[in-house]
Protein backbone atom coordinates (compact mmCIF):
# COMPACT_ATOMS: atom_id res chain seq x y z
CA UNK A 1 0.00 0.00 0.00
CA UNK A 2 1.43 3.38 -0.98
CA UNK A 3 1.43 6.17 1.57
CA UNK A 4 -0.87 9.13 0.97
CA UNK A 5 0.04 12.30 2.82
CA UNK A 6 -2.37 15.09 3.74
CA UNK A 7 -1.07 18.63 3.45
CA UNK A 8 -3.14 21.02 5.55
CA UNK A 9 -6.81 20.18 5.54
CA UNK A 10 -7.60 19.59 1.90
CA UNK A 11 -4.66 18.51 -0.26
CA UNK A 12 -3.23 15.02 -0.57
CA UNK A 13 0.03 13.80 -2.09
CA UNK A 14 0.20 10.21 -3.27
CA UNK A 15 -2.25 7.78 -4.83
CA UNK A 16 -3.50 9.13 -8.16
CA UNK A 17 -2.82 12.70 -7.09
CA UNK A 18 -0.08 14.75 -8.71
CA UNK A 19 0.87 17.90 -6.85
CA UNK A 20 2.94 20.72 -8.34
CA UNK A 21 4.83 22.83 -5.79
CA UNK A 22 6.09 26.04 -7.32
CA UNK A 23 7.48 29.44 -6.39
CA UNK A 24 10.73 31.33 -6.10
CA UNK A 25 13.99 29.84 -4.90
CA UNK A 26 14.12 32.47 -2.16
CA UNK A 27 11.62 34.85 -0.61
CA UNK A 28 13.12 38.21 -1.60
CA UNK A 29 10.39 40.81 -1.06
CA UNK A 30 6.64 41.04 -0.59
CA UNK A 31 6.16 42.29 -4.13
CA UNK A 32 8.16 39.54 -5.83
CA UNK A 33 6.79 36.77 -3.62
CA UNK A 34 3.18 37.79 -4.12
CA UNK A 35 3.69 38.12 -7.88
CA UNK A 36 5.12 34.59 -8.09
CA UNK A 37 2.53 33.17 -5.68
CA UNK A 38 -0.39 34.71 -7.59
CA UNK A 39 1.02 33.42 -10.89
CA UNK A 40 1.60 29.83 -9.76
CA UNK A 41 -1.81 29.74 -8.06
CA UNK A 42 -3.50 31.02 -11.22
CA UNK A 43 -1.71 28.38 -13.29
CA UNK A 44 -2.89 25.56 -11.01
CA UNK A 45 -0.01 24.79 -8.64
CA UNK A 46 -1.02 22.86 -5.52
CA UNK A 47 1.57 24.33 -3.14
CA UNK A 48 3.77 27.41 -2.88
CA UNK A 49 7.51 26.96 -2.40
CA UNK A 50 10.00 29.62 -1.31
CA UNK A 51 13.07 29.68 0.88
CA UNK A 52 13.30 31.95 3.91
CA UNK A 53 16.42 30.21 5.25
CA UNK A 54 18.71 29.61 2.28
CA UNK A 55 21.63 27.18 2.23
CA UNK A 56 24.13 29.08 0.07
CA UNK A 57 27.52 27.83 -1.05
CA UNK A 58 29.12 31.20 -0.32
CA UNK A 59 28.58 33.03 2.98
CA UNK A 60 28.69 36.25 0.94
CA UNK A 61 25.55 35.26 -1.01
CA UNK A 62 22.02 36.26 0.00
CA UNK A 63 21.10 34.05 2.95
CA UNK A 64 17.33 34.59 2.90
CA UNK A 65 15.05 36.84 4.92
CA UNK A 66 14.68 34.37 7.80
CA UNK A 67 11.70 35.00 10.09
CA UNK A 68 10.52 37.93 7.98
CA UNK A 69 10.46 35.62 4.95
CA UNK A 70 8.31 33.13 6.88
CA UNK A 71 5.76 35.85 7.67
CA UNK A 72 5.64 36.82 3.99
CA UNK A 73 5.06 33.17 3.08
CA UNK A 74 2.17 32.97 5.54
CA UNK A 75 0.61 36.06 3.95
CA UNK A 76 1.14 34.61 0.46
CA UNK A 77 -0.57 31.40 1.60
CA UNK A 78 -3.54 33.35 2.98
CA UNK A 79 -3.78 35.33 -0.25
CA UNK A 80 -3.67 32.35 -2.62
CA UNK A 81 -4.99 29.45 -0.53
CA UNK A 82 -1.78 27.57 -1.37
CA UNK A 83 -0.12 25.66 1.48
CA UNK A 84 3.58 26.50 1.86
CA UNK A 85 6.66 24.29 1.74
CA UNK A 86 9.84 25.94 2.98
CA UNK A 87 13.26 24.80 4.09
CA UNK A 88 14.46 24.46 7.66
CA UNK A 89 18.22 24.22 8.15
CA UNK A 90 18.67 24.42 11.90
CA UNK A 91 17.15 22.35 14.71
CA UNK A 92 16.55 25.62 16.60
CA UNK A 93 14.24 26.89 13.84
CA UNK A 94 12.04 23.80 13.47
CA UNK A 95 9.27 25.04 15.78
CA UNK A 96 9.18 28.48 14.15
CA UNK A 97 9.19 27.14 10.57
CA UNK A 98 6.46 24.61 11.38
CA UNK A 99 4.23 27.48 12.60
CA UNK A 100 4.37 28.99 9.11
CA UNK A 101 4.71 26.01 6.78
CA UNK A 102 2.31 23.23 5.84
CA UNK A 103 5.35 21.10 5.00
CA UNK A 104 8.99 21.39 6.10
CA UNK A 105 11.77 20.93 3.57
CA UNK A 106 15.06 19.33 4.52
CA UNK A 107 17.43 20.34 1.74
CA UNK A 108 19.98 18.20 -0.03
CA UNK A 109 22.84 19.62 2.00
CA UNK A 110 21.15 18.49 5.20
CA UNK A 111 19.97 15.06 4.08
CA UNK A 112 22.34 13.48 6.57
CA UNK A 113 22.06 16.10 9.30
CA UNK A 114 20.84 13.51 11.77
CA UNK A 115 19.89 15.86 14.64
CA UNK A 116 17.78 17.88 12.15
CA UNK A 117 16.14 14.71 10.78
CA UNK A 118 15.27 13.66 14.33
CA UNK A 119 13.88 17.08 15.18
CA UNK A 120 11.59 17.24 12.13
CA UNK A 121 10.57 13.69 13.00
CA UNK A 122 9.32 14.91 16.39
CA UNK A 123 6.94 17.53 15.00
CA UNK A 124 3.71 16.88 13.17
CA UNK A 125 4.05 18.64 9.81
CA UNK A 126 4.94 16.52 6.74
CA UNK A 127 8.58 16.62 5.67
CA UNK A 128 9.95 16.94 2.14
CA UNK A 129 13.34 15.23 2.22
CA UNK A 130 15.66 16.05 -0.67
CA UNK A 131 18.30 13.63 -1.85
CA UNK A 132 21.86 14.72 -1.15
CA UNK A 133 23.85 15.59 -4.27
CA UNK A 134 26.20 12.67 -3.60
CA UNK A 135 23.79 10.36 -1.79
CA UNK A 136 22.79 6.92 -2.97
CA UNK A 137 19.14 5.93 -3.04
CA UNK A 138 19.73 3.69 -0.03
CA UNK A 139 21.20 6.61 1.91
CA UNK A 140 18.13 8.71 1.07
CA UNK A 141 15.85 5.94 2.33
CA UNK A 142 17.91 5.54 5.51
CA UNK A 143 17.74 9.31 6.10
CA UNK A 144 13.94 9.08 5.75
CA UNK A 145 13.96 6.35 8.39
CA UNK A 146 15.45 8.77 10.93
CA UNK A 147 12.32 10.92 10.53
CA UNK A 148 9.89 7.99 10.53
CA UNK A 149 11.54 6.50 13.61
CA UNK A 150 10.77 9.61 15.65
CA UNK A 151 7.06 9.13 14.96
CA UNK A 152 6.42 11.31 11.92
CA UNK A 153 5.06 9.01 9.15
CA UNK A 154 4.61 11.84 6.65
CA UNK A 155 7.79 11.94 4.59
CA UNK A 156 7.95 12.81 0.90
CA UNK A 157 11.13 11.88 -0.98
CA UNK A 158 12.57 14.29 -3.53
CA UNK A 159 14.96 13.49 -6.38
CA UNK A 160 16.86 16.70 -7.22
CA UNK A 161 19.89 15.52 -9.17
CA UNK A 162 23.26 14.10 -8.24
CA UNK A 163 26.75 15.35 -8.91
CA UNK A 164 28.50 13.83 -11.90
CA UNK A 165 31.22 14.65 -14.41
CA UNK A 166 29.25 16.60 -17.01
CA UNK A 167 28.80 20.35 -16.48
CA UNK A 168 26.17 20.60 -19.26
CA UNK A 169 23.54 20.49 -16.54
CA UNK A 170 23.99 21.68 -12.94
CA UNK A 171 23.40 18.16 -11.58
CA UNK A 172 22.37 14.92 -13.30
CA UNK A 173 18.67 14.48 -12.66
CA UNK A 174 18.29 10.80 -11.83
CA UNK A 175 14.81 10.01 -13.12
CA UNK A 176 15.49 6.30 -12.76
CA UNK A 177 15.45 6.99 -9.02
CA UNK A 178 11.68 7.45 -9.29
CA UNK A 179 10.77 3.84 -10.14
CA UNK A 180 13.55 2.58 -7.86
CA UNK A 181 12.22 4.58 -4.90
CA UNK A 182 8.67 3.51 -5.68
CA UNK A 183 9.80 -0.10 -5.66
CA UNK A 184 11.68 0.19 -2.38
CA UNK A 185 9.44 2.51 -0.40
CA UNK A 186 5.73 3.32 -0.06
CA UNK A 187 6.52 7.02 0.45
CA UNK A 188 5.50 9.55 -2.22
CA UNK A 189 8.27 10.66 -4.58
CA UNK A 190 8.56 14.06 -6.16
CA UNK A 191 11.08 15.46 -8.63
CA UNK A 192 12.84 18.84 -8.69
CA UNK A 193 13.87 19.50 -12.31
CA UNK A 194 14.95 23.07 -11.45
CA UNK A 195 17.95 22.19 -9.29
CA UNK A 196 18.28 18.93 -11.22
CA UNK A 197 19.10 20.67 -14.50
CA UNK A 198 20.01 24.23 -13.46
CA UNK A 199 18.66 25.73 -16.70
CA UNK A 200 15.10 26.97 -17.18
CA UNK A 201 14.91 25.63 -20.74
CA UNK A 202 15.50 22.05 -19.59
CA UNK A 203 12.93 22.19 -16.80
CA UNK A 204 9.71 21.64 -18.83
CA UNK A 205 10.92 18.49 -20.65
CA UNK A 206 12.26 16.95 -17.44
CA UNK A 207 9.09 17.91 -15.54
CA UNK A 208 6.99 16.07 -18.13
CA UNK A 209 9.40 13.12 -18.03
CA UNK A 210 9.10 12.98 -14.23
CA UNK A 211 5.34 12.59 -14.47
CA UNK A 212 5.74 9.81 -17.03
CA UNK A 213 8.36 8.10 -14.83
CA UNK A 214 5.81 7.83 -12.02
CA UNK A 215 6.52 10.81 -9.77
CA UNK A 216 3.78 11.99 -7.42
CA UNK A 217 4.59 15.64 -7.97
CA UNK A 218 7.11 18.30 -8.86
CA UNK A 219 9.05 21.06 -7.13
CA UNK A 220 9.64 23.89 -9.59
CA UNK A 221 11.25 27.30 -9.23
CA UNK A 222 9.21 30.15 -10.70
CA UNK A 223 10.19 33.81 -10.43
CA UNK A 224 8.21 36.90 -11.48
CA UNK A 225 11.37 38.27 -13.12
CA UNK A 226 14.17 35.66 -13.24
CA UNK A 227 16.69 38.24 -14.52
CA UNK A 228 16.71 40.01 -11.14
CA UNK A 229 16.46 36.94 -8.88
CA UNK A 230 18.92 36.95 -5.97
CA UNK A 231 19.23 33.19 -6.18
CA UNK A 232 18.98 30.59 -8.97
CA UNK A 233 17.48 32.97 -11.57
CA UNK A 234 18.96 30.95 -14.46
CA UNK A 235 16.83 27.95 -13.58
CA UNK A 236 13.60 29.80 -12.70
CA UNK A 237 10.64 29.61 -15.04
CA UNK A 238 8.77 32.77 -15.88
CA UNK A 239 5.07 32.71 -14.93
CA UNK A 240 4.16 32.39 -18.62
CA UNK A 241 6.36 29.35 -19.21
CA UNK A 242 5.14 27.78 -15.98
CA UNK A 243 1.52 28.24 -17.11
CA UNK A 244 2.33 26.51 -20.41
CA UNK A 245 4.02 23.66 -18.58
CA UNK A 246 0.91 23.22 -16.44
CA UNK A 247 -1.15 22.93 -19.62
CA UNK A 248 1.24 20.20 -20.85
CA UNK A 249 1.00 18.37 -17.53
CA UNK A 250 -2.80 18.49 -17.61
CA UNK A 251 -2.67 16.93 -21.08
CA UNK A 252 -0.28 14.19 -19.91
CA UNK A 253 -1.91 13.40 -16.57
CA UNK A 254 -4.75 11.16 -17.84
CA UNK A 255 -2.23 9.10 -19.84
CA UNK A 256 -0.28 8.54 -16.63
CA UNK A 257 -3.35 7.76 -14.51
CA UNK A 258 -2.92 11.02 -12.59
CA UNK A 259 -5.05 13.93 -11.48
CA UNK A 260 -3.32 17.27 -10.93
CA UNK A 261 -4.49 18.44 -7.53
CA UNK A 262 -4.99 21.71 -5.81
CA UNK A 263 -6.69 22.01 -2.44
CA UNK A 264 -10.18 23.42 -1.97
CA UNK A 265 -8.80 26.63 -0.44
CA UNK A 266 -6.66 27.29 -3.52
CA UNK A 267 -9.60 26.42 -5.79
CA UNK A 268 -11.90 28.91 -4.12
CA UNK A 269 -9.22 31.64 -4.01
CA UNK A 270 -8.64 31.03 -7.74
CA UNK A 271 -12.37 31.17 -8.49
CA UNK A 272 -12.63 34.52 -6.67
CA UNK A 273 -9.62 35.86 -8.55
CA UNK A 274 -11.03 34.70 -11.88
CA UNK A 275 -14.32 36.45 -11.13
CA UNK A 276 -12.50 39.65 -10.18
CA UNK A 277 -10.28 39.41 -13.26
CA UNK A 278 -13.02 38.49 -15.68
CA UNK A 279 -12.86 41.85 -17.49
CA UNK A 280 -9.08 41.90 -17.59
CA UNK A 281 -6.54 39.82 -19.37
CA UNK A 282 -5.30 37.97 -16.27
CA UNK A 283 -3.64 34.58 -16.91
CA UNK A 284 -5.46 31.49 -15.72
CA UNK A 285 -5.39 27.93 -16.92
CA UNK A 286 -8.81 28.15 -18.57
CA UNK A 287 -7.58 30.94 -20.82
CA UNK A 288 -4.35 29.25 -21.90
CA UNK A 289 -4.45 27.67 -25.33
CA UNK A 290 -4.18 23.90 -24.92
CA UNK A 291 -1.69 22.66 -27.52
CA UNK A 292 -1.80 19.12 -28.82
CA UNK A 293 1.97 18.77 -28.73
CA UNK A 294 4.72 19.82 -26.33
CA UNK A 295 5.91 22.95 -28.00
CA UNK A 296 9.36 23.40 -26.58
CA UNK A 297 10.13 26.27 -28.89
CA UNK A 298 7.41 28.15 -27.08
CA UNK A 299 8.38 26.77 -23.70
CA UNK A 300 12.11 27.56 -23.92
CA UNK A 301 12.86 31.09 -22.63
C1 LIG B 1 15.78 24.41 -2.62
O2 LIG B 1 14.92 23.63 -3.06
O3 LIG B 1 15.51 25.55 -2.24
C4 LIG B 1 17.18 23.96 -2.53
C5 LIG B 1 18.10 24.70 -1.93
O6 LIG B 1 17.41 22.78 -3.14
P7 LIG B 1 18.51 21.67 -2.83
O8 LIG B 1 18.51 21.45 -1.34
O9 LIG B 1 18.02 20.49 -3.61
O10 LIG B 1 19.82 22.22 -3.34
MN1 LIG C 1 17.10 27.24 -5.67
* Cα 219 to averaged position of ligand 1 atoms, centre (Å): 10
Mean model confidence pLDDT for the chain: 93
**Confidence (pLDDT) at 288:** 46
Ligand 1 pocket mutation pick from 55, 84, 104 by most atoms within 8 angstroms of CB:
55
For ion ligand 2, residues whose CB falls within 5 Å? 25, 232
Taking the CA of 87 as reference, the closest ligand is 1
**Which residue positions in the chain have pLDDT lower than 50?**
282-289, 298-301
Ligand nearest the Cα of residue 160 is 1
Residue 287: its pLDDT value, please? 44
Instruction: Work out which ligand 1 atom sits closest to the CA atom of 160.
Output: 9
Contact indicator for 110, 126 with CB cutoff of 8 Å: no
The C-alpha angle 45, 17, 239, rounded to 5 degrees, equals 15
Predicted confidence at residue 280, as pLDDT, reads: 54
Centre of ligand 2 to C-alpha 67, Å, is 18
* Residue in 24, 47, 107, 110 to alter for ligand 1 test, most ligand atoms within 8 A of Cβ: 107
pTM over 0.85: yes
The rounded Å distance from CA 201 to ligand 1 centre is: 18
Using the atom order of ligand 1, give the atom closest to the CA of residue 105. Answer: 2
Per residue in 102-151, pLDDT (tens digit) is: 999 999 999 999 999 999 999 999 999 999 999 999 999 999 999 999 99
Amino acid sequence: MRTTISIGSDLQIGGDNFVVMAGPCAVESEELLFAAADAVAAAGAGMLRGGAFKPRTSPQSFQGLGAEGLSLLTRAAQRTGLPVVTEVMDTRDVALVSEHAAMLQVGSRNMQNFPLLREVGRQSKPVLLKRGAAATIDELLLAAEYILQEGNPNVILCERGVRSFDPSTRYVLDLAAVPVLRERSPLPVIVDPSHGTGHARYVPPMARAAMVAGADGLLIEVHANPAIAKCDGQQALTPEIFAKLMVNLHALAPLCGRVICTGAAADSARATRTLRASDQDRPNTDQVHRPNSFDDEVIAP
